[in-house]
Amino acid sequence: MIQTENTAIVLRRVNYRDNDRMVTLLSPSRGRIDAVIRNCRKPKSHNLNAAELFALGDYMIVETGGRMTVTSVRLIETFWPLRNDYDRLTCAAWLLSLAEAAAEPEQEQQELFMLLLHTLSRLAFSDQPWQPLLSGFLLHFSACQGFKPRLNHCVHCGKRAEEPPFFFDAEEGGLCCESCRRSRAQIPLSPEQLRWMRHALTVGSASWVNLPEAEAPFALLRSYVEGKLGRRLKSGALLPPE
């Protein structure tokens, strides 16, 4: 029997048996953790809120025979204001799906954990528009997962991209100049959108949210990231209209 304490965010939860719940956690040091929280659905259970989506806490986990059980939790944050705004709630749920799709068991995910934590905090406790919040998340998510878009040079000829028109080649993962453009699948990119992405990649989460909302290329980045993950996430169907 191995017992460890893991700071984590609940990415998914499913009711199990009469009073238990299976949870998928994101830990900065261990990546994805699938565990059961026993009796958390009983009336007056101290662990009920810790078994809800978005919950952030210190989870004491016992591993026995390859099965993980949460024995106690010190709850830190629930991001409760998300429940009062349907649009921001659906945005936050989609972020959880992205994190779950990327995280692997026993692989450090410090960058992803902090990125998710900061973005959930902004969604829950600020009135900043959701488009730049999610666009910035997607850019930094792609960076920490190893497919950061190349935004300074054409991905085909290597020529520095300085003058419009600009195009984005999602398959190759970056800019494409007009000379190398070969198909309509390469998406037109405005100078303002390119400037937004370049700047957002150079600053932390506290800064990208202050960039102009209209210039955040959310649809492009969503398509790019979901393409790299190899699937369109079902939770994305509930996102607010752009």
Short-list 21, 11, 30, 113, CA closest to 69: 21
Distances (CA, A) of 34 to 27, 64, 72, 104: 11, 13, 15, 11
pLDDT in tens, 158-215: 999 888 999 999 999 999 998 898 776 789 999 999 998 998 888 766 666 665 666 7
One domain, residues 55 and 21: yes
Considering the domain architecture, whether residues 185 and 121 belong to the same structural domain is answered as yes
Can you give the pLDDT at residue 120? Answer: 97
Same domain, yes or no: 125 and 169: yes
| Upper half-sphere CA count for residue 162 (Cβ side, 13 Å) | 2
pTM greater than the 0.85 cutoff:
yes
Could you tell me the pLDDT band of residue 2, with boundaries at 50, 70 and 90?
confident
Domains in the chain: how many in total? Answer: 2
Q: What pLDDT is recorded for position 210? A: 61
Tens of pLDDT, residue by residue over 87-96, are: 999 999 999 9
Task: Kindly report, residue by residue over 28-60, the tens digit of the pLDDT.
Answer: 999 999 999 999 999 888 899 999 999 999 999
Same domain, 159 and 113: yes
The CA distance from 56 to 82, in Å, is: 14
